[in-house]
Chains A and B, each alone.
Chain A
């Protein structure tokens, strides 16, 4: 694969799967905050 293809592969992986990961973390942190607040 060309260097350009590798770069776009990394961009896709980081944005889509990284974005999914960050969303889950935000959801769990928000839930924790809500539980602490009661």
Chain B
């Protein structure tokens, strides 16, 4: 059967940008800039983009286009015995989408509450008590929080209907879900920069502290941000690229995806920090006190700022809806791209119907997400997220770079990239994949490992960190190797 195809090159680029641009662009990047030397952080960030982000994107695109298969089969077909890398990437993707969809459920719930600005009485209490029913500790799992479960189910149903018919429907969806959050971010940007105190917020965002460039952790933070932000190591880009024809441009698509993703993150920083500047002024606190990242920024800090906006409840409700609609449209294409990667991998391996595999993945994904819908779910989400990112994805990236840079001939791979590309890639690509990326990743893994040994992550008890962190990663790795061996035996018999 002929392989499905994207309608056009621009649709593929839209889907790839949609996958890369997610919640992290709004809630992680701006704070990282502020926390790592302000505007000076842009220097290591742009260097990281050019020396790791874009070269690895080209690597994954070429693997998908050349092999015309999902991640596991692409690795296995490319180099016999390496299929476990693809399975490991897909298992990590599965773990990530199981909790990412729960965050989307929180956003969905907040979208509903935006119409009445329900958090106006106190955003912190509203989030932790009213929405999450947060328990006292990681050991107190408590019962399921029914409203979150219902919204989670809706999210998985939406994802199922986007993916089950293949990339043709995905193509139609991304034409809306990629431009829409950019337009909404522009609305937030205009509102933000016209508020009192916006300039002081932006000053905190961009004022450079060049002395920070001497700190290796700033450089590692930049490389980490680029790596996580571009959907590298998930297997998504391999899966998406496998639906492109073999004579597709690789380098041009990689440059567009990488630069667009980082450009959107940079722009989002203006919307976020101008609003934080206003919040600081309105509450009489310094910007350093109100600045934050992640869940805290999205569900506590920003809602607090929205509840302080001038113009009354109607205006606040409008901007609440705009903000949470931005988040949900940013998140949805990242989430379904994760599921699409898994579905492509399984479909190519089992030769089963796409609809059946999509349904199974969505049901199992929903069930796996229920743990994060409990009263102690936030703690587990935090632990699993930390390990999946710090030791999961990054290990996949390392294995990819070693496979192509050291086991395979990187010059031959580069010639493959250049064969149909519009922009010729020089020898710098080989240096980046063979030397820079592995060295940076090995240093980063060692530093993370050292900091875990020194101090338990987030102050969680050791047993929780073992279960949600170390054991989870090791079990996924063992399953990946078992899948690779199991599928080989099945084929041979």
Which A residues fall within an 8 A CB radius of B? Answer: 1-2, 4-9, 11-12, 15-17, 19-20, 23-24, 26-27, 30-31
Q: Which residues of B contact A23 (CB under 8 A)?
A: 252, 255-256, 259, 423
Q: Which residues of A contact B255 (CB under 8 A)?
A: 19-20, 23
- B368 at interface, CB cutoff 8 A: no
A11 to B203, CA, bound (A): 15
Partner of B259, one of A6, A9, A19: A19
Interface size on B, residues (CB 8 A): 23
Given A8-B40, A27-B423, A15 contacting B46 (CB threshold 8 A): yes
A19 to B254, CA, bound (A): 12
What is the total of A-B residue contacts with beta carbons within 8 Å? 71
Residue contact A1 to B423, C-beta cutoff 8 Å: no
- B18 at interface, CB cutoff 8 A: no
Residue contact A16 to B266, C-beta cutoff 8 Å: yes
Residue contact A30 to B423, C-beta cutoff 8 Å: yes
Partner of B263, one of A5, A16, A26: A16
A34 to B93, CA, bound (A): 38
- B144 at interface, CB cutoff 8 A: no
Residue contact B207 to A4, C-beta cutoff 8 Å: yes
**Pairs of residues from A and B, 7 with the lowest C-beta to C-beta distance, nearest first:** A8-B39, A30-B422, A5-B206, A16-B263, A23-B255, A20-B259, A27-B252
A23 to B255, CA, bound (A): 7
A28 to chain B, nearest CB (A): 9
A6 to chain B, nearest CB (A): 8
Which B residues fall within an 8 A CB radius of A? Answer: 38-40, 42, 46, 199, 202-203, 205-208, 249, 252, 255-256, 259-260, 262-263, 266, 422-423
Residue contact B206 to A8, C-beta cutoff 8 Å: yes
B247 to chain A, nearest CB (A): 11
A19 to chain B, nearest CB (A): 5
Residue contact A8 to B208, C-beta cutoff 8 Å: yes
B245 to chain A, nearest CB (A): 15
Residue contact A26 to B422, C-beta cutoff 8 Å: yes
Residue of B nearest to A2 (CB): B207
A23 to chain B, nearest CB (A): 4
B266 to chain A, nearest CB (A): 5
Residue of B nearest to A3 (CB): B207
Residue of B nearest to A28 (CB): B422
Residue contact B208 to A4, C-beta cutoff 8 Å: yes
Residue contact A1 to B199, C-beta cutoff 8 Å: yes
Q: Which residues of A contact B203 (CB under 8 A)?
A: 1-2, 5
A15 to B202, CA, bound (A): 19
Q: Which residues of B contact A2 (CB under 8 A)?
A: 203, 207
